[in-house]
Structure 1
């Protein structure tokens, strides 16, 4: 999966002085993403750094990697690559037929050969999750590419004479050319959930390469090429064909993603999403002469006693996990999270993200991934199924009663309630989210003649894919890669998304069930109880011990005259939450505010963030 970093400069010679040490330091901040190897390549105008997690061709895929000229052996292209090109075997065969020769079995070398064959448009041929920085030596051009759904991150920041880039913000800060600053737009990202605009990066001076885009930097300036987008068209298939097509796509994608040169398993929650991936993955392994598939689930110690149902958590996972394990025959292990660890490990989650996340929802995922990494290098996940097939409760609500806003924020009351009086005078979260919502609606690829429920649901799916799903993928990437664990997401393959995008709501909710289409596509490989289980979200911390520790920590923060977060937060509002039970704000139980307030304070302190309003 790896971490990439680099520095392009049109005025400084990066082969002299401390430049190589700077690029090395940038890459070193990403060591946990790539614990297996490190490399740096420099030329007068550019330095490329890499930290490697060895998954494909562990012995031969060292990076940065160069494409060499056949006649003189000189480098023509050099790349630092993160992620996986899942269809690299097919591309390798096609490129061999065109005369290309390979010295490794890695997908990185396929990327280089593809770029030599087709130029920058080679990115349109890749199926997978990836981010890369490719330097074209002859043309003196840097290409920064990112996968269609944005599964793998890639940040950049332009400076006076070039650009720095990397897999995480911390790599850019290590260059000394970028400072951690946040303005009103960045604070909006911090105080709200899943409303970040594509390309924004929380920090004022940073940007993200947008999903499905290729940025190119040359002496004449920069260009942006959008190589992938959702295209709206009438859906012509009948229900039976639609179900069969989804099943066929999933089988092929999962089979591709079970191929690895290192230990592989699956994350299992007992919901339809992860259970389907588990069943199809186990079948693919068996067909290839492997297996059984290793599976892992997470629960909280004492969860059976502490569990309380809400809008996103309707049942405990454990009974359904066991049903899948028995039915499919996986080798299973449950990871138990101790409640005390949720607060104690909050700093790890913060430093993995480089900005405040969603409290214990981040921490519990980090703890799961830490345990899984002790057994596996690659794990399959069900992330993205709810977004593609309509699994969250707000989908059905929007079909009946459109909210007129981001669906997951429906019912949120006073967004500004926790802001300090001084900040409320400078930042109106309601106004900013309304503006972002209208901006997002303006991007929706409309279908001529579509109206009513179908029109609204196309809007909802677009909002889901471009605002909510990136929030989930960002969380998944940081909490897994901080342990050097590659998590693959079959439901985020663009070939599946392209097909499902145009399937109307009546078919996605086949049989009047949430994710009815997905359920119909996989019901023959799963226990009936799992096929019919309603959506239930990732487990959250409900232990009285954990809740008490958070209250105490917030009380200490309020009383600390040096706590930087208290310049942004309302002390009275926090005290009321400490005394009461209501830590959330809205119908769909968004992440609790108090743990996020603690992360905000730690972020401002540890990163020395300057607030620019």
Structure 2
């Protein structure tokens, strides 16, 4: 896994911008600590930082390949899971390979099939290919958006990179946020609208999108969309189908020339991945290593809720014994959790999910001491109906994003000069825009129609935000995390499962549970869903309240330009209880909401953001 950067300008010679490219590439050191490379031509500059996972020698980048006298150059961040399938097909068409990296397979696929090669890829990726003969640059991002790709257009020059900080390293791009960006931050954050990056003048290539740059033209389009299709399967056939897709996806993602581990919370999703991986390791004569996360004092202070009914640790340990893994628990200290809020903000280049992010960052930092690749269970809840908003009618039929049902309350933390920000209007606009994209079958009943909308909303918004979080904080630690449930084959299949089948036996993830009978013990299969663990220790609440008090006392704090100081002070004084609704999702309540505001201040300070209001 790696980081990429580049500049393209077909109207002028940009070779004098080499130093700028070098600065851009340097921002990606954490994504690619093992090596770096740059390629220069008259109109195209490409840079790369590499985290070596496969083929240390044969996978160096930028990679150049000359076929039929024509030159092609690629920079690539990702992993292809159908590498060998593609290699066989290309060999049958008389293409040859110098090594065994997926980078060369991807580049050769483009040489053979042009931009249509994108439709043959199964993996997580963001890449740029310079086709010298056609004088064009082709960029693309994987269907679910596991790997990031940002860009900015300055006149005839297109600047791109794996992270926002990479774009900001270009002298013509400033860290500026206008009213639209500020509105998005407080209306949608920590999510961002597809194609947006909050900063003025910076955009992202949205998941499942491509960009083709030619002289005088920049074209962006969506190459993959989920399709509404009739599934003519019995329930037993659906159980077997889901099982076979998942097992295949997990096995494909265990490849690598470096150590591979799994995240194991003791929940259904991570347990499934760990059990299947452990069996595969056993067949190879190896033992799988698994990791779980916990917090000091959580055994004493845990409180059950609708969103988090049980604590994870006992189930993680139980599952580790079942699969005979070398299990390691990372215990986080609350002081470290609070300190890491800043690193988590830098990792995202934006405020994120507060200590939900910083805890994952610290967790990944510990895993990286011994491993380079980990597998994680993200996306199962969005695809197989794991959240309460798939089973509670008041959430199902909420006429907005179900994870952010009280957007109007967010406005209460803003000062009087920003009370006219169109927070509710923007949220509603993005919500309705997304609903217009949802594919449907004819004659769907009311509930089926609405559930399909919910799954699509989760796919395009909530899931993407969690994948953004996972990529940024893991790659900040030079750790590649793979997400088998995000395999596009699983996504398209799950999208078309009838709600009553997906929620088999009236349970969240009912079908997935049945698909895992025999693979997992019943104690795990039928356990109530519990999300990523957060701290319940009042010590953490005290720490973040003290941090926010210091920010409120400091007249130079940039967040004071934005917030209603008295309202935020009230929230802090009540340890978050004065803000009654989760800011976002299931976990951002109380201290997490305060920590989010701390991240906003850290972001404004660290990036010296110019607020244009």
For normalisation by structure 1, the TM-score amounts to 0.96
Task: Tell me whether 1:314 sits opposite 2:314 in the alignment.
Answer: no
State the match for 2:178 in structure 1. 183
Displacement of 1:543: 2.0
Task: Tell me whether 1:161 sits opposite 2:159 in the alignment.
Answer: no
Displacement of 1:409: 1.7
State the match for 1:6 in structure 2. 6
State the match for 2:100 in structure 1. 105
- Where 2:293 maps in the other structure, the secondary structure is strand
1:499-549, Cα deviation, whole Å (9 max, x unpaired)? 111001100011111001111101211121111111111111222222111
Residue 172 to residue 193, structure 1, CA distance change in 2 (3 Å): closer
Displacement of 1:87: 0.4
Residues 318-333 of structure 1 mapped to structure 2, 5 A cutoff = 318-333=313-328
Task: Tell me whether 1:200 sits opposite 2:199 in the alignment.
Answer: no
**Distance in 1 between the 2:550 and 2:594 partners?**
12
State the match for 1:418 in structure 2. 413
**Distance in 1 between the 2:396 and 2:526 partners?**
25
Task: Tell me whether 1:522 sits opposite 2:520 in the alignment.
Answer: no
Q: Of 240, 254, 271, which residue of structure 2 is paired with 1:275?
A: 271
Task: Tell me whether 1:350 sits opposite 2:348 in the alignment.
Answer: no
Q: Of 81, 88, 95, which residue of structure 2 is paired with 1:86?
A: 81
Question: CA contact under 8 A between 2:396 and 2:454: conserved in structure 1?
Answer: no
Task: Decide which moves more: 231-240 or 404-413.
Answer: 404-413
- Where 1:254 maps in the other structure, the secondary structure is helix
Residue 401 to residue 169, structure 1, CA distance change in 2 (3 Å): closer
Displacement of 1:585: 4.3
Question: CA contact under 8 A between 2:27 and 2:166: conserved in structure 1?
Answer: yes
**Distance in 2 between the 1:416 and 1:290 partners?**
57
State the match for 2:355 in structure 1. 360
State the match for 1:258 in structure 2. 254
Task: Tell me whether 1:171 sits opposite 2:163 in the alignment.
Answer: no
CA RMSD in angstroms, aligned pairs only: 1.5
- Where 1:409 maps in the other structure, the secondary structure is coil
Q: Of 19, 22, 29, which residue of structure 1 is paired with 2:20?
A: 22
Residue 399 to residue 575, structure 1, CA distance change in 2 (3 Å): closer
- Where 1:459 maps in the other structure, the secondary structure is helix
Q: How many residue pairs align between the two structures?
A: 606
**Distance in 2 between the 1:300 and 1:233 partners?**
44
Q: Of 394, 416, 428, which residue of structure 1 is paired with 2:422?
A: 428
Q: Of 525, 536, 549, which residue of structure 1 is paired with 2:530?
A: 536
Residue 22 to residue 532, structure 1, CA distance change in 2 (3 Å): same
- Where 2:391 maps in the other structure, the secondary structure is helix
**Distance in 1 between the 2:597 and 2:247 partners?**
43
Question: CA contact under 8 A between 2:390 and 2:396: conserved in structure 1?
Answer: no
State the match for 1:450 in structure 2. 444
Unmatched runs of 5 consecutive residues or more in structure 1: none
**Distance in 1 between the 2:487 and 2:118 partners?**
14
1:275-317, Cα deviation, whole Å (9 max, x unpaired)? 0111111122233x14211100000011111212223221111
Unmatched runs of 5 consecutive residues or more in structure 2: none
Residues 390-401 of structure 1 mapped to structure 2, 5 A cutoff = 390-398=385-393
1:460-511, Cα deviation, whole Å (9 max, x unpaired)? 0000000111110000000100011000000000011111110011000111
Question: CA contact under 8 A between 1:412 and 1:586: conserved in structure 2?
Answer: no
Displacement of 1:398: 4.2
- Where 1:416 maps in the other structure, the secondary structure is helix
Displacement of 1:155: 0.3
Question: CA contact under 8 A between 2:545 and 2:575: conserved in structure 1?
Answer: no
Displacement of 1:440: 1.1
For normalisation by structure 2, the TM-score amounts to 0.96
State the match for 1:237 in structure 2. 233
Residue 424 to residue 442, structure 1, CA distance change in 2 (3 Å): same
Question: CA contact under 8 A between 2:268 and 2:525: conserved in structure 1?
Answer: yes
- Where 1:182 maps in the other structure, the secondary structure is strand
**Distance in 1 between the 2:178 and 2:465 partners?**
20
State the match for 1:58 in structure 2. 56
**Distance in 1 between the 2:306 and 2:564 partners?**
28
**Distance in 2 between the 1:430 and 1:309 partners?**
31
Q: Of 435, 438, 445, which residue of structure 1 is paired with 2:432?
A: 438
State the match for 2:370 in structure 1. 375
Question: CA contact under 8 A between 1:312 and 1:536: conserved in structure 2?
Answer: yes
State the match for 2:564 in structure 1. 570
Task: Tell me whether 1:40 sits opposite 2:38 in the alignment.
Answer: yes
Q: Of 383, 386, 391, which residue of structure 1 is paired with 2:381?
A: 386
- Where 1:414 maps in the other structure, the secondary structure is helix
1:78-133, Cα deviation, whole Å (9 max, x unpaired)? 01000101101110111011101100110000011100110011011000000001
Displacement of 1:599: 1.1
State the match for 1:602 in structure 2. 602
State the match for 2:212 in structure 1. 216
Question: CA contact under 8 A between 2:576 and 2:594: conserved in structure 1?
Answer: no
Question: CA contact under 8 A between 1:399 and 1:457: conserved in structure 2?
Answer: no
- Where 1:408 maps in the other structure, the secondary structure is coil
Displacement of 1:428: 3.0
Task: Tell me whether 1:226 sits opposite 2:222 in the alignment.
Answer: yes
- Where 2:409 maps in the other structure, the secondary structure is coil
Question: CA contact under 8 A between 2:137 and 2:214: conserved in structure 1?
Answer: yes
Question: CA contact under 8 A between 2:10 and 2:214: conserved in structure 1?
Answer: no
Residue 132 to residue 317, structure 1, CA distance change in 2 (3 Å): same
Task: Tell me whether 1:338 sits opposite 2:336 in the alignment.
Answer: no
Runs of 4+ in 1 over 6 A off after TM superposition: none
- Where 1:258 maps in the other structure, the secondary structure is coil
Q: Of 506, 510, 514, which residue of structure 2 is paired with 1:512?
A: 506
Question: CA contact under 8 A between 1:55 and 1:261: conserved in structure 2?
Answer: yes
Q: Of 546, 549, 554, which residue of structure 1 is paired with 2:543?
A: 549
**Distance in 2 between the 1:411 and 1:532 partners?**
32
